[in-house]
Amino acid sequence: MTATRITVRGDSPYDVVVGTGVLGELPGLLAAGVQTVAVVHPASLPEIARPVCGVLETAGLEVLSLPVPDGEAAKSVEVAAELWSAFGRYGVTRSDAVVGVGGGATTDLAGFAAATWLRGVQVVQVPTTLLGMVDAAVGGKTGINTPEGKNLVGSFHPPAGVLCDLATLVSVPREDYVAGLAEVIKGGFIADPTILMLIEDDPAGACTPEGGHTRQLIERKIQVKADVVGADLRESGVREILNYGHTLAHAIERVEHFHIRHGEAVAIGLVYAAELSRLDGRIGRDVVERTRSILASVGLPTAYRKEAWPELRDHMRVDKKSRGATLRFVVLDGIAKVSRLENPSEELLEAAYREVGR
């Protein structure tokens, strides 16, 4: 099957290449003149990085393999500093490139390191998880975590290209694959209802990379993100809709010390955002119940500990979507109809959480 190319437009347009067995497309995504490529990848998964390095070496490039910790442990200033030191030792110049290989945490880190080295070198992302393909690697957001919150330090740095080889999804653990579906489902509620119908048609198939709708679901979610970030790279307007469900999700991740999958936290956050929308008079209970039903049908959580609310509320105060003391939420006025709710009352926030914590 041929590769699909989805163009992310804007000041620095680039392609997201989607297909099975498309790794050979990687060298073509790099700009002309690149000589050295630093491949950033999880230390525990050398078998993922090895074919990437091989394709680049076959193309005549000098390749540096730079392993980093797994998952969110990679997204720290200490690990970023180790990458900067490696770039310096090996002479990575402004005309060279970084390639991020792995899940969303790895591509976030690789993008941030590329954005900050020599004030910006090109990066190509090779996501190998569902979450990475449909969300983290597309859009140009890069970042690391601090003790105070997730992704509070970062930069907007569009990649030179993104390569999604669907063959890599076969080795992704089922729990991780299902967690990635939360971002796919989010895309259905904020922009593309066909995504929801495809999952409702075959929820069991949606939970596996061999499902009949898998490629269409992935391409549709990437197209949703491409359309949004192409119109608003720096989250000054429409891009905020991608944060639907994420205010509570990021707070849950902090409470869990990141020992919860991002997609699982997002799933709970989607239910909370839907309840907030309903209680504010924007949508009916049918949309909330559809949210719960679709998430539950693929095995994603829809509730969280009711006693956790005070701690979650504290973490929500430090949120990238806040403006000064004003807390902002992305909410629904209907399926594929998104707006903002600014400075909601404490009573409304807590009432919505009671529906999630029941």
Annotated ligand binding at 71? The verdict is: yes
Active-site pick, 262, 278, 315, 320? 262
What single string gives the DSSP state of each residue in 280-312? Answer: TTSS-HHHHHHHHHHHHHTT------GGGHHHH
Compute CA distances 249 → 28, 33, 131, 233, 324, whole Å.
Answer: 37, 42, 15, 22, 20
The helix/strand/coil state of 62 is strand
> What are φ and ψ of residue 283, in 5° steps?
-135, 165
Active-site pick, 145, 157, 186, 235? 235
Annotated ligand binding at 105? The verdict is: yes
Q: Which of these, 329, 14, 36, 338, lies nearest to 163 by C-alpha position?
A: 14
Side chain identity at 52, as an amino acid letter?
Answer: V
Annotated ligand binding at 289? The verdict is: no
Compute CA distances 205 → 213, 214, 293, 301, 328, whole Å.
Answer: 7, 8, 16, 18, 35
Give the HSE-up count for residue 178: Cα atoms under 13 Å, Cβ half-sphere. Answer: 16
Annotated ligand binding at 104? The verdict is: yes
Annotated ligand binding at 141? The verdict is: yes
Active-site pick, 141, 254, 278, 292? 141
343 conformational bin, left if phi > 0, alpha if psi -120 to 50, beta if neither: left
The helix/strand/coil state of 51 is helix
Respond yes or no: is residue 183 known to be catalytic: yes
Respond yes or no: is residue 305 known to be catalytic: no
Annotated ligand binding at 41? The verdict is: no
Active-site pick, 41, 225, 278, 290? 225
Report the distance separating Cα 109 and Cα 75, nearest Å. 6
Annotated ligand binding at 128? The verdict is: yes
Annotated ligand binding at 142? The verdict is: no
Respond yes or no: is residue 246 known to be catalytic: yes
Kindly give, in sequence order, each residue whose CB lies less than 8 Å from that of residue 105, ignoring residues fewer than 6 positions away: 70, 71, 72, 73, 74, 75, 136
Return the number of other C-beta atoms located less than 10 Å from residue 358's C-beta.
7
Cβ 358 vs Cβ 274: under 8 Å? no
Report the distance separating Cα 89 and Cα 82, nearest Å. 11
Respond yes or no: is residue 343 known to be catalytic: no
Side chain identity at 21, as an amino acid letter?
Answer: G
Respond yes or no: is residue 234 known to be catalytic: no
Annotated ligand binding at 337? The verdict is: no
Active-site pick, 145, 183, 219, 261? 183
Looking only at the bridges linking them, the beta strands covering 36-42 and 62-68 are parallel
Annotated ligand binding at 161? The verdict is: no
Active-site pick, 47, 78, 89, 119? 119
Annotated ligand binding at 129? The verdict is: yes
Respond yes or no: is residue 119 known to be catalytic: yes
Annotated ligand binding at 206? The verdict is: no
Annotated ligand binding at 150? The verdict is: yes
Annotated ligand binding at 205? The verdict is: no
Active-site pick, 250, 278, 320, 321? 250
Active-site pick, 239, 292, 315, 320? 239
Active-site pick, 220, 246, 315, 321? 246
Task: Summarize the annotated binding site for NAD(+) as residue ranges.
Answer: 70-75, 104-108, 128-129, 141, 150
Task: Summarize the annotated binding site as residue ranges.
Answer: 70-75, 104-108, 128-129, 141, 150, 183, 246, 262
Task: Summarize the annotated binding site for Zn(2+) as residue ranges.
Answer: 183, 246, 262
Catalytic annotation, residues = 119, 141, 183, 225, 235, 239, 243, 246, 250, 262
